[in-house]
Every structure is written in structure tokens, then in C-alpha cells.
Amino acid sequence: MPRLSEKLTLELNAQMGREFSASNQYLAMAIYLDDKSLSDLANFYYRQSEEERQHALKFMHYVLDADALPVVPELPKPKSDFESVEEIAEMSLSMEREVTGCIHNLVDLAMEERDHSTNRFLQWFVEEQIEEEATFNRLLDVTRQSTNLLLIDQYVSRLEPTGGPDEGA
Ligand SMILES: [Fe+2]
Ligand SMILES: [Fe+2]
């Protein structure tokens, strides 16, 4: 009997796709910001994009290690034009909240199936999402409180992505 159920394999693959989509969306945001010469913000989003790619690869390796087959998905076209930095921060936070919901649904499924290995694997992402939501909440606060784009750009250099729960602690 394979270690991963068909249903969990499908859902973990779907989550890998969402992480790749987030990576592409953050890349599109980075390009928009870079084009506006908001370099620190752009760099923050380039790093965020890279982080999401690493998340996708974590799911890919987990599925492979569990003797199931990850499938590289077709990805939706990311949004590339924005009204403001605030719109970007709002969209980022709502993307992260959606991902948190998806991760929690995956944990529910793993628990229903009494798949302790997958549950353990997913706990890293449960923690990571707490940090991700907090980071984008702070960015959104700052963009709402300041109309000065250069100040926002400077502030963001203090919002380093942590690289995940087991790093930088
Ligand atoms: Fe992620
Ligand atoms: Fe994220």
C-alpha cells in the first residue's frame, strides 16, 4: 500500500501548484515595483517569490519521498498591473490568508486519514503561515499610514522574509 492516499497526493499536488502560483504572483509584483524604482520593495518581493518557489519544492520532494508522483501544474497568469503599493500589500495578505486556509484543510485531511507523517510535514507550513500573515499585515499597515513611497521603500528592508520557522530563530 502506498504511503500517501490518492486523495492526499492530489491535494498536496494542488498545494504545490498554489505555491508556484504565489511565486509567480510575487515575481510580477517585484517587476512592477522595480519598474517604479522602488528597489527595496522590489527586492523584498523577489525574495518572497523565491521563498514560495522553495515551498513548492518542499511539497514536490515530500510527495516524491512518499513514493507518489508530483505533477507540475499549469499556472494561472499572474496580475501584473496595480493601482498602488497598498493594492499590492492587500492582495499579498489576502493570498497568504487563502494559503493558510488551504494548509489547514490539508491538516484536517491528514488527521482524518490518520496520516501522522503528512500531518507532521504540514506543521512546518502552519507555523510559516503565521509569520507570512504577520509580515504582510505589517507591510499593509505601513502602506496605509504613509503616502510617502520612499519611506515605505526604506521600511521594507526591515521586513526580511525569515526563510521559515526553523531558520533565523
Ligand atoms: Fe508559501
Ligand atoms: Fe507565503
Closest CA to 85 of 28, 39, 29: 29
Q: Cα(7) to centroid of ligand 2, in Å?
A: 24
| 8-state DSSP, 66 | T
Q: Cα(91) to centroid of ligand 2, in Å?
A: 12
Q: Cα(18) to centroid of ligand 1, in Å?
A: 8
Q: Cα(4) to centroid of ligand 2, in Å?
A: 25
The predicted structure's pLDDT at residue 49: 98
- Model pLDDT for residues 112-131, shown as the tens digit of each residue: 999 999 999 999 999 999 99
| 8-state DSSP, 158 | G
Q: Cα(112) to centroid of ligand 1, in Å?
A: 23
The predicted structure's pLDDT at residue 168: 46
Q: Are 14 and 59 contacting, i.e. CB atoms less than 8 angstroms apart?
A: no
Domain boundaries, the chain: 6-158
Which residues in 77-104 are b (16+ Cβ under 10 Å) and which e?
A: eeeeebeebbebbbbbbebbeebbebbe
Cell of 74: 499549469
Assigned CATH class of 6-158? mainly alpha
- Model pLDDT for residues 57-69, shown as the tens digit of each residue: 999 999 999 999 9
pLDDT, averaged in runs of 10, over the chain (169 residues) = 86 98 98 94 96 98 95 94 95 98 98 97 97 94 80 73 59
Q: Which residue has the cell 486556509?
A: 101
The predicted structure's pLDDT at residue 146: 76
The predicted structure's pLDDT at residue 32: 97
Backbone angles phi, psi at 4, to 5 degrees: -105, 135
Which stretches within the chain are classed as H helix? 6-35, 39-65, 85-112, 116-145, 149-155
Q: Cα(27) to centroid of ligand 1, in Å?
A: 13
Q: Are 56 and 23 contacting, i.e. CB atoms less than 8 angstroms apart?
A: yes
Judged on CB neighbours under 10 Å (0-12, 13-18, 19+), 167 is: exposed
Q: Cα(132) to centroid of ligand 2, in Å?
A: 6
Q: Are 19 and 53 contacting, i.e. CB atoms less than 8 angstroms apart?
A: yes
Ligand located closest to 56 CA: 1
